[in-house]
Chain A
């Protein structure tokens, strides 16, 4: 039995990716099971999903605790040592990052493959939904499932034009994935962040959720307060003296509502360097 763990954020499609792998495996005559770990996740919150592939009906219904493969859909989560936590010795981690596999700082006994799925998704789908943009890479570096089976599963899940766009993303990631190579860092650094638990609220730092960061151009700003009114996280503060807004970045999850509401385009959404 092969066990796979997906790390992503609500909205990136980790659950859909896990189901597509399960469908594709079944297309090839394997049994499969895709378990999402649901809590009260929302768009942007870190979440986990699991897949088992076996040659008989999968009976176990516990979560996957010692995966053979870890797949990370988010470039910032990909920097956390926790994504390889309890990975089987000699296992494989596939990361969405612009880094070369040799430059990845995660430590331990496993192989590393990397693909810039965010760029692929932005260029093929127009959105940073990285789930399908990593599946082609998955097919190539794991050899578990043929890329044709993933395309077949995608056509079933997304009929029509959407399916074609996603298949284009799959094909590109199949071509562009780098690795796998043995992890260059041997010693596992300490696991700092608990990325398995979704969380949200005014006390929580959500700055790691952003794919894009809003930046205010004070010269363009006319002080209309639209961004301050519309920010769903009350992450924008109003300075009554300067009559300008400022952003509390630890409360901003990068949704872009402020930039959308600004009547003079004084807020620019800048891609976070991964």
Chain B
């Protein structure tokens, strides 16, 4: 075990090295660029045996890792914002192929370069698991966990690990680097599934067709496989803690100072860190607001959040992305999850951090005050643009 003060992107590249990825391919785009630089450097220094495939764009980088994964390699790619959109088409095939690719998505907005979650949120239909993480240590740890989950024979689903550009990708902070021997033991080499040919009719590959029969069947199986990630991720978080001594909630969510909370703020990514500082301050002032950090958006932690909702008077959902004309994706999803509940908590929608707008500690204090008021039955605007 060693420590280094490193930026978020170095933490991602370090995880790729620890996981002994066999094939990496990426096209540089700010704020992801330095991951490709670190990987190129590691390749030039022959730090371990892997192929780094330079490509002319993100469509190709996704195809490279897809085919490498199909023949059994452990693979990695990374991108940001518009690069992810360009990757959209082959991402579907990677998802449909049930290929355990791991990708870092360094969030970059569309309306300007600063980060929001629009990029990864726009890829909900590609059949991947989507995680959102908060700090550099969590970037490193989550990429390791992503391989463990993605390659699990019960899962075989690609995982996108999203983290905010600039304020995390380029921010330096202390990171603990686990011992290689421990990682090797905890994360054995990828064991490819027996049938690798895309057109072979085999229930374990769903690349193209189903070989006749019900054309909906691959969708059903794919959907259920992603829902199944919940148990595997929770198991993985437990074994990760046993081996490396760190954990992030149960993997799906990370509650923070929720023990005595009447209300919760739900947030994802770096702003959840700022929210932790705000929650500490509020609880010192006697305000019973905690944070539930959402780590996995797909699959959505339906069971966990339903359990929490039973205990809470109010939930403030902070969405860092918006489907224009439709609204915040986390708020919409959570509201539908809680529909069947009797005696539901009050819910408020907050739009924050879009286009990279800074979300400050006092913004979360405002959010906390509003949800406490709403929970008491006072009239509060249901939607707030922070």
Contacts and interface: CB of A to CB of B under 8 A. Distances in A.
A35 B271 CA distance: 14
A33 interface: yes
A59 B277 contact: yes
A178 B358 CA distance: 36
Task: Give chain A's interface residue range (CB within 8 Å of chain B).
Answer: 20 to 34
A270 B207 CA distance: 67
A60 interface: yes
Given A32-B173, A32-B174, A22 B5 contact: yes
A34 B172 contact: yes
Interface in A196-222: none
A91 B135 CA distance: 29
B241 to A, nearest CB: 17
Contacts, number: 63
A32 B5 contact: yes
Contact of A60 (B113, B170, B172, B277): B277
Interface string B135-169: 10000000000000000000000000000101110
A62 B172 contact: no
Nearest to B269: A61
Contacts of B276: 59
Nearest to B112: A39
A31 interface: yes
B274 A34 contact: no
Interface string A37-55: 0111000000000000000
B270 A61 contact: yes
Contacts of B273: 59-61
A62 B272 CA distance: 11
Interface string B27-65: 000010000000000000000000000000000000000
A39 B113 CA distance: 8
B171 interface: yes
A35 B165 CA distance: 11
Nearest to B256: A59
B256 to A, nearest CB: 9
A18 B173 CA distance: 11
A31 B166 CA distance: 19
A15 B274 CA distance: 22
Interface in A8-40: 18-19, 22-23, 26, 31-36, 38-40
Contacts of B113: 39-40
A32 B135 CA distance: 12
The residue in A32, A35, A65 that gathers the most chain B C-beta atoms within 10 A of its C-beta is A35
Contacts of B261: none
A63 B171 CA distance: 11
Among A19, A32, A60, A65, chain B packs the most CB atoms within 10 A around the CB of A60
B359 interface: yes
A26 B6 CA distance: 11
B274 A31 contact: no
A19 B274 contact: no
B92 interface: no
A2 to B, nearest CB: 15
Given A19-B5, A22-B5, A26-B5, A63 B174 contact: no
Contacts of B270: 61
A262 to B, nearest CB: 36
B250 interface: no
B93 interface: no
9 tightest A-B CB contacts, nearest first = A34-B172, A59-B276, A59-B273, A61-B270, A23-B5, A62-B360, A60-B277, A35-B171, A19-B172
9 contacts: A19-B5, A23-B5, A23-B172, A32-B5, A35-B167, A60-B277, A61-B164, A61-B274, A62-B274
